Amino acid sequence: MVQQGTHSVVMGYILWFFGFLGVHRFYYGKPISGTIWFFTLGLCGIGWLVDLFLIPSMDREADLRFTPGAKDYNAAWLLLVFLGIFGAHRMYMGKWLSGFLYFFTGGIFLLGYLYDLWTLNDQLTMINAG
């Protein structure tokens, strides 16, 4: 039986395009380096260019690390990146109360949004595993 992948190389490259802010690193479950990329603009662009070649291996690692299931990682990440301050990703995961809180507070004043950048993959794994 072939295991379904949780992450996508195509999605990784889409997020890499905006990657000088580290979004693609958060997507692949690397929050520490994602934060470093965010504050240094992708290590002054050098790390961002290197990641162009590292995305396929980061994708394989994420596919092995995170649990596939009913909730799609790509959909959740698109919702987080582009509509995260409105709580769309939380509503997608079935977390309606916090989704509405995000909607009315701008992602709980952006702190909740940052928390979700760090933990979204783990939240989805917990939902998909149980």
Overall average pLDDT of the 79-108 stretch: 97
Asked whether the predicted pLDDT for residue 3 surpasses 80, the reply is no
Asked whether the predicted pLDDT for residue 128 surpasses 70, the reply is yes
What is residue 119's predicted lDDT score, i.e. its pLDDT?
Answer: 98
| Cα–Cα dist 41/35, whole Å | 10
| Cα–Cα dist 103/13, whole Å | 28
Residue ranges covered by each domain of the chain: 1-65, 67-130
- Contact in structure between 67 and 128 (CB atoms under 8 Å): yes
Overall average pLDDT of the 57-78 stretch: 97
What is residue 58's predicted lDDT score, i.e. its pLDDT?
Answer: 98
4-63: per-residue pLDDT in tens? 799 999 999 999 997 778 999 999 999 999 999 999 999 999 999 999 999 999 999 999
What is residue 4's predicted lDDT score, i.e. its pLDDT?
Answer: 75
Q: Tell me the Cα Rg of the chain.
A: 14
Indicate the SS3 state at residue 47.
Answer: helix
What is residue 1's predicted lDDT score, i.e. its pLDDT?
Answer: 47
